[in-house]
């Protein structure tokens, strides 16, 4: 990792990988399951390594993780063994461990280990699109399908009770990018950790509005066993990623 001039903004990738992925019903944490010939985590890692804008990548695992050894290259990647019980705790532990190594104005791109479809082009699109927006930003997809709300009473969980207007609705993806100082403050001051479902929600709790940058369907999150096949279909094809175009 090179030392930059004081006013130079650097971009760091942070991949929390301390989860167990219970919904995958697999014998090991899902980030290590093979997809298209290599562990799921390695796909995301390779995207950051291949992006020239990323100064360094950090992977955060649990202290007793024995599967990460041998998975990461010797250069441009550091493993932090400070994972916590939740995703938020894992990221916060990592940010605290990196105090002094990352400047307050440097940008941190947090990415789910279970999103193997990330590409260098998507990373560059996020960095370019967010630019100097003080509240950071994230990749996301506009909702295009009709949205239904299920009933709340007993036995009505699979009954459509309401059609929800989809105008202005987006599906959050990762990476989500914020300055080191902002992300640390947002997570440390989160009033209800259970309500923090992603990093952007912690920033929003401060009264700030992160910028939405359109991502790509290939950047899906592998949550259920059926998602593996979908991810492999995307990985087997070279899907073009439109460059970011700022509205004028």
Q: Which pLDDT score is estimated for 100?
A: 94
Please tell me the distance from the alpha carbon of residue 19 to that of residue 29, in angstroms, as a whole number.
Answer: 7
pLDDT(22) > 50: no
- pLDDT top residue among 89 and 6: 89
Q: Is residue 192 part of a domain?
A: yes
Q: Is residue 6 part of a domain?
A: no
**Bond preceding residue 16 cis, omega within 30 of 0:** no
Say if residues 248 and 129 touch (Cβ distance below 8 Å).
no
Question: Over the chain, what is the mean pLDDT?
Answer: 90
Q: Give the domain range for residue 188.
A: 11-235
Give every CB contact of residue 125 below 8 A, 6+ residues apart in sequence.
139, 213, 241, 242, 243, 244
How many CB atoms neighbour CB 189 within 10 A?
A: 10
In this structure, what CATH number is given to the domain that contains residue 109? 3.90.550.10
Question: What does each C-alpha distance from 97 to 6, 89, 114, 151, 229 come to in angstroms?
Answer: 21, 12, 23, 44, 36
Please tell me the distance from the alpha carbon of residue 245 to that of residue 103, in angstroms, as a whole number.
Answer: 29
Please tell me the distance from the alpha carbon of residue 108 to that of residue 12, in angstroms, as a whole number.
Answer: 5
Q: Is residue 164 part of a domain?
A: yes
How many CA atoms lie less than 13 Å away from 75 in the CB half-sphere? 3
- pLDDT top residue among 203 and 248: 203
Q: Which pLDDT score is estimated for 112?
A: 97
pTM (whole model) above 0.75: yes
Q: Which pLDDT score is estimated for 58?
A: 98
Torsion of CA 97, 195, 112, 178, to 10 degrees: -60
Question: What does each C-alpha distance from 83 to 43, 66, 208, 227, 237 come to in angstroms?
Answer: 20, 13, 27, 25, 33
Q: Is residue 240 part of a domain?
A: no
Give residue-wise pLDDT tens across range 183-236. 999 999 998 878 889 999 999 999 999 999 999 999 999 999 999 999 999 999
Which of helix, strand or coil describes residue 69? coil
What's the structural domain count of the chain? 1
Q: Is residue 23 part of a domain?
A: yes
pLDDT(5) > 60: no
Q: Is residue 4 part of a domain?
A: no
Q: Which pLDDT score is estimated for 240?
A: 75
Please tell me the distance from the alpha carbon of residue 210 to that of residue 79, in angstroms, as a whole number.
Answer: 28
Say if residues 140 and 130 touch (Cβ distance below 8 Å).
no
Q: Is residue 81 part of a domain?
A: yes
Q: Is residue 2 part of a domain?
A: no
Structure-block tokens of residue 43: 């796909």
Q: Which pLDDT score is estimated for 248?
A: 43
* Least confident range of 16-30, 104-118, 153-167: 16-30
């Amino acid at each position: 990792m090179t030392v930059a001039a004081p006013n130079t903004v650097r971009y760091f990738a942070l991949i929390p990988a301390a989860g167990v992925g219970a919904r995958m019903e697999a014998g090991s944490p899902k980030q290590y399951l093979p997809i298209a010939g290599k562990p799921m985590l390695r796909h995301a890692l390779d995207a950051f390594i291949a992006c020239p804008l990323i100064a360094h990548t950090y992977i955060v695992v649990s202290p007793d993780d024995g599967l990460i050894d041998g998975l990461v290259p010797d250069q441009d990647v550091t493993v932090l063994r400070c994972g916590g019980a939740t995703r938020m705790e894992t990221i916060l532990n990592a940010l605290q461990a990196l105090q002094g190594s990352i400047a307050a104005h440097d940008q941190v791109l947090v990415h789910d280990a279970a999103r193997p479809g990330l590409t260098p082009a998507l990373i560059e699109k996020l960095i370019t699109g967010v630019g100097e927006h003080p509240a950071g930003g994230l990749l996301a997809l506009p909702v295009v399908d009709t949205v239904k709300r299920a009933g709340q009473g007993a036995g009505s969980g699979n009954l459509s009770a309401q059609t929800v207007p989809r105008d202005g609705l987006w599906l959050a993806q990762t990476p989500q990018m914020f300055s080191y100082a902002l992300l640390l403050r947002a997570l440390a001051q989160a009033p209800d950790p259970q309500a923090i479902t992603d990093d952007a929600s912690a920033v929003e709790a401060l009264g700030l509005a992160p910028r939405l940058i359109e991502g790509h369907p290939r950047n899906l999150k592998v949550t259920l066993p059926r998602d593996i096949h979908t991810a492999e279909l995307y990985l087997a094809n070279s899907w073009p990623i439109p460059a970011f175009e700022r509205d004028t």
